[in-house]
Amino acid sequence: MKARFKSKYTIRKGDTVVVIAGDDKDRSRPRQVKEVLLEEGKLIVEGVNMITKHTKPSAQNTQGGIVKKEAPIQISNVMLWDAKAKAATRVTKKRAEGKTQRISKKSGDAI
């Protein structure tokens, strides 16, 4: 996706999120973000959207076989997890001392 301006998201690598749409939807189970793909507007979440990939034998993997791995999902299908409120939350941004902080709408604390 080619865009004139780079998209800005409130979710980063290492954040805790809940899946709110799709086959792996579970609002009560927080999961870890492994990678954010900015250009595609997608992210890879631990244990979500598992696919099976058939691999041929190679120099690194002499056995070959079936490998299970996470596939990217749309960034709009997840929400940040607020540990204090123990629920999914929306986020606002606030500038303080020259740095931008992400603030939870539910608890009002910085994430």
Kindly report, residue by residue over 68-85, the tens digit of the pLDDT.
999 999 999 999 999 898
Confidence of residue 32 (pLDDT cuts 50, 70, 90): very high
CATH number of residue 40's parent domain = 2.30.30.30
Q: Which domain holds residue 38?
A: 16-56+65-84
**Cα(111)–Cα(91) distance, integer angstroms:** 9
The reply to whether 79 falls in a domain is yes
Average pLDDT value for residue range 19-37: 92
The reply to whether 24 falls in a domain is yes
Q: Read off the pLDDT of residues 48-61 as tens digits, 9 standing for 90 and up.
A: 999 999 999 999 88
- Asked whether residue 4 carries a pLDDT value surpassing 80, the answer given is no
Neighbours of 101 (CB within 10 A): 14
Cβ-based neighbours of 65, under 8 Å, separated by 6 or more: 54, 55
Q: How many domains does the chain have?
A: 1
The reply to whether 51 falls in a domain is yes
**Cα(31)–Cα(25) distance, integer angstroms:** 11
**Cα(91)–Cα(50) distance, integer angstroms:** 27
